[in-house]
Structure 1
């Protein structure tokens, strides 16, 4: 077994931190990332709003940094679709259909995760409790932090060791999936 493979295997055996607990190593990486991307300026923000286009799709995104909530609106060929989360319920509205409101546990769990990632919840540990641990031996160019927001699912954030800036995130089970990022565009495996 190579040293890298051994380190990765041993990291899987490390005890996971309890929810609401951030390991000291993960806290260091997250603090460096926060500092590198604006530092204390994050404390003055209450949310964000963005409007733009991706090819034929017009979109508007509203994020609430005070709570885990969002509203995503996409318009294609004049047809508007809305996906939103108010912290308790998931809302979906599609053209020609009555809006759907769901408290389904899986839908809420995914919405919490989406809101946490979109809102950079890791910059606000007192506001948005989570479990976070530094993954050891995953990639020498990156610090990889596994995060599980309260009520959400676990995911990984990848931070460039040279700049401390985020460079990607996992899309499935931590340390078991391939990931890509528009910034990096490469696989972790």
Structure 2
């Protein structure tokens, strides 16, 4: 646990402090610029300092925080019985607090790339190429259910790539297909765009495929853009050990008072 905590609280210097070196093809950047303009504009998106969502996922209450300035993600899912599953990522390691209260996670491995990608796409990191190191390419125009989509392959540094399908007419993102290299791809459909402040946010997300046995729907009820304390993206520190109570003092019997000299000896002493 202490090794995990040390990895989680480590400052992600490369992810947070280094200058991002995005490599977008001109065709991909054109599509991203169109999508950003259609959903609020560059000035509106650049003002955002946090993302906080409240809703339901799979019928269970869920609360989610993402950081559009640097990698950071936290999700709390209510489980039947009143317990919670808490998942997080701080740019260095992913971690989970299970409903049993046990903590787990890792700073390496294939699952880390999936979580890092989720943190990036949840924060709309593709709109901030100066903040996040990413690669994108234009994969062509494809048809789906009678509509045309411009498809980009976008991959954050160290994260799983996704094919992003933008409506060729409106410019809005409609679906993503994640390729984590671990099995069947996962499809993520986004819809029900609503204006929150100056930007447009999808309030319905449906994931299917991958390792899911059935589609999973997330429906938002409330969204705000308040910045979150960075501490929430890291595993809480372990509780300090309880101090042992001091041992109670050992009771001792007071010595008996000294006997007064007998009267006859007192007279002799007074002579």
The equivalent of 1:158 in structure 2 is: 165
Separation in 2, partners of 1:126, 1:136: 25
- TM-score in terms of structure 2 length: 0.57
> Higher strand proportion, which one?
2
Q: Cα RMSD between the aligned structures?
A: 2.5
SS of the equivalent of 1:183 reads strand
Give unmatched runs, 5+ long, in structure 2: 1-20, 193-205, 207-271
Separation in 2, partners of 1:157, 1:124: 16
Give unmatched runs, 5+ long, in structure 1: 1-18
Does 2:70 correspond to 1:67? yes
SS of the equivalent of 1:32 reads helix
The equivalent of 2:25 in structure 1 is: 23
Q: Does 55-64 or 24-33 show the bigger shift?
A: 55-64
Does 2:152 correspond to 1:149? no
Does 2:60 correspond to 1:57? yes
Computing the radius of gyration from Cα coordinates, the structure with the larger value is 2
Q: 1:178 to 1:47 in 2, by over 3 A?
A: closer
Query: Any residues of structure 2 matched to 1:91-106 within 5 Å, and which?
Result: 91-106=95-110
Separation in 2, partners of 1:129, 1:145: 16
Whether contact under 8 Å (2:79, 2:99) holds in the other structure is no
The equivalent of 2:248 in structure 1 is: none
The equivalent of 1:35 in structure 2 is: 37
